[in-house]
Amino acid sequence: MNPAVIDRLGDLNPQLLRELKGRLQRRHLIAVGVLSGFVQLVLYRFNDWLSLVQSLYWLEAIALFILGSYLIHQDIAKEESRGTLYFLRLSPQSSRCFYWGKLLGVPILLYWAIALAVPLQLLAQIKAGIPLIWLLSIAWIFALGCGFLYTMALLMPLNAKTPTNPLGTLTLSGFVGILYAFFIFRAFDWPELTYGGYPQTWFNLPVGSNPYLGFLTVTLHVGLLARGLGWVFDRRFRNSRPQLHLSQGQVIAVQTIFQLWFLGWNWHALNGIDVSQTEFADSIAQVGFMAACLILGLATLSVSSWSSSRLSWWQLVRKQSAIVAIVWLPWFALYPIAAILKLQSLLALLSNINLVLSALVFYWITACFSKKFLKALTVCATTIALLSIPTLLFQGWLQLPLWETSTAQMLSFNTTIAVAIGQLLQTSLTVAVIFKLTQWVKPRAIAPSSLNPKQGD
């Protein structure tokens, strides 16, 4: 490389220069070039032009999303195990400098292999008659996906109990990355060379079927997710045991934005367009399930001590529940459906909430008794026995669908009333267990980052 370019790059991002100098060796470039050429030759020999384009896209997606995540995971794990990450934290470089140095530098040989395939990809697209704008659009969407998955790969070794094990990163990156690529390619009709898209709308805007709105929607969603993980990494980089708690204002803002976003996706169904009354009632229950997960998750993330902050925890739950009610209750109250169907919809919603509360109880038990296995086992057994009383009573003895989350199974008025009593009993027991847990355990941090302290912290 040109010394002037090296000096300039070192001034802009010393971490990137460090990564490039360690990887851009002549033997590495030649080996990767030979491998890339061999793969291109094999694909060229056994595919027509259209199949060649699709094969190259899929191969690039698998390489970028899975192999790239693995490389970054292994690199950050080695930095931490060797102790060099500690010195990098003390260096004057910013977390953003380290972040971009890793994302651009660690997979540089992978980028080199893909860059060598670009001429063949351009030739195949021209021969197959595929618009070049497709190449640019998919390349940009791939870049966004890499930003999200690579940031996740940076974070996982820092928070995992065994940072040198890449299995979790490989599994998660493989699942999310392949699913992401599938939905991208599914939107394009390759034989007809048209954009098919999806029927989704957001506040009646055709974001699924319009290619420009779809492109903008994917950019905003994946970009915001990547930036959110980047914010978490900024805090995690400077502190080996951070307390990533959100303030009450941040929790309220996140909840409000999410509910308005979710309202936009359900606007079509809420206005009763091509939706039956039963489907509307079931959709309200599903919305409630999503809201309950987010309410409890944000409240738990933002409060670090049960004994001293349990009032703040319940306060956050109440405030977030009020936001959800303001957004969704008018639709439920004013929508013209039968009263019995509204009651059944509320029961399905209550069933979902009970499931989330039960999961929260066992998460808290695990968090508080992580180093006391026998005590945790005793508490879990007692809790399971207590929470199983309504289930045994209604589903075992009375043969009633206590945990039914669909209105289709609650056919009669008497069945609906019986299930309502069972769900209220289940809710009362679960809430009682939550209150009792705060008295059984000593005050301690329950933030996820404090559950797996590492040596030397």
C-beta separation of 183 from 144 below 8 A: no
Q: What is the pLDDT of residue 47?
A: 82
Here the tokens at position 289 are 């399930």
Residue type, 439: Q
Q: What is the pLDDT of residue 423?
A: 73
d(CA 133, CA 126): 11
Q: Where are the domains of the chain?
A: 3-238, 249-450
Reduce the DSSP state of residue 335 to 3 states and report it.
Answer: coil
d(CA 33, CA 182): 28
C-beta separation of 19 from 108 below 8 A: yes
C-beta separation of 445 from 242 below 8 A: no
Where b means 16+ CB within 10 Å and e means fewer, 347-374 reads bbbbbbbbbbbbebbeebbebbbeeeee
Here the tokens at position 29 are 């470039």
Q: What is the pLDDT of residue 40?
A: 92
Angle of CA points 236, 240, 246, to nearest 5°: 45
**Could you report the average pLDDT of every consecutive run of 10 residues in the chain (457 residues)?**
62 82 88 93 88 91 91 85 78 83 91 93 90 90 93 78 62 86 88 84 86 91 88 76 66 86 80 64 74 78 54 76 84 73 73 73 64 62 67 59 51 64 75 68 42 40
Where b means 16+ CB within 10 Å and e means fewer, 424-456 reads eebbebbeebbeebbeebeeebbbebbeeeeee
Which positions ≥6 away from 334 have C-beta within 8 Å?
Answer: none
Here the tokens at position 100 are 């971009």
Q: Where are the alpha helices (DSSP H) in 46-166?
A: 49-62, 68-82, 84-90, 95-105, 108-128, 132-159
Q: Which residue has the tokens 């400098």?
A: 97
Distances in whole angstroms, Cα of residue 331 to Cα of each of 31, 144, 286? 62, 35, 14
Q: What is the pLDDT of residue 260?
A: 87
Q: What is the pLDDT of residue 398?
A: 57
Which positions ≥6 away from 16 have C-beta within 8 Å?
Answer: 9, 97, 100, 101, 104, 105
Reduce the DSSP state of residue 265 to 3 states and report it.
Answer: helix
Strand ranges inside 161-243, DSSP E: 188-189, 194-195
